[in-house]
Amino acid sequence: RTGKCEVDETEKGWFLTYIDRDPVKLREAEIRAKRERAELDSDERYLKEVDKMVKVARQDGTAEAPVATDMVREEGAGPLAFGCCSGAGSKLSKLKEGLKPGACSCFGGA
């Protein structure tokens, strides 16, 4: 009657469940729920953005399918390098500034 516990009577007997209304625990649960809602909202926004990009790509359907071609290398061309983390703001590009030329050639640096 005072709201401190929940009582259930079943075939096996009485079951008592204490209701903890500690203000600190209630606040923590509220913060946790808010964080979960924010993460869900973030995921939903990301999915909407992806859907929008897919729709735009389908509307621009004028692009031709890629065709495989032979690789032609010119005389005197430097070594072939592939970049995996290149970008103006990436951590790798900031680290490469202080290195010798060619030190990060495996990551697209020359």
Q: Which range of residues forms the domain containing residue 94?
A: 80-110
Residue 74 is assigned to a structural domain of this protein: no
Residue whose entry in the numeric block shows the structure tokens 């970049």: 83
pLDDT per residue of the chain (110 residues) written in tens, 0 to 9: 777 888 899 999 999 898 888 889 889 999 999 998 888 888 888 888 999 988 888 887 766 677 888 878 787 777 777 776 555 555 555 555 555 555 555 555 44
Helix, strand, coil percent content, the chain, rounded in steps of 5: 40, 10, 45
pTM above threshold 0.75:
no
Are 96 and 54 in the same domain? no
7-29 residue pLDDT tens: 899 999 999 898 888 889 889 99
Residue 53 is assigned to a structural domain of this protein: yes
Are 14 and 53 in the same domain? yes
Are 50 and 84 in the same domain? no
Are 14 and 48 in the same domain? yes
Length of the chain: 110
Write the CB contacts of 108 (distance below 8 Å, at least 6 apart in sequence): 81, 82, 83, 84, 85, 86
Side chain identity at residue 77, one-letter code: A
d(CA 99, CA 1): 73
Are 87 and 45 in the same domain? no
Residue 71 is assigned to a structural domain of this protein: no
Are 84 and 41 in the same domain? no
Residue 67 is assigned to a structural domain of this protein: no
Measured CA to CA in angstroms, residue 100 lies from 55, 91, 106 at distances of: 45, 17, 13
> For 5, phi and psi rounded to 5 degrees?
-150, 165
Domain count, the chain: 2
Residue 104 is assigned to a structural domain of this protein: yes
Strand 5-10 vs strand 13-18: parallel, antiparallel, or unpaired?
antiparallel
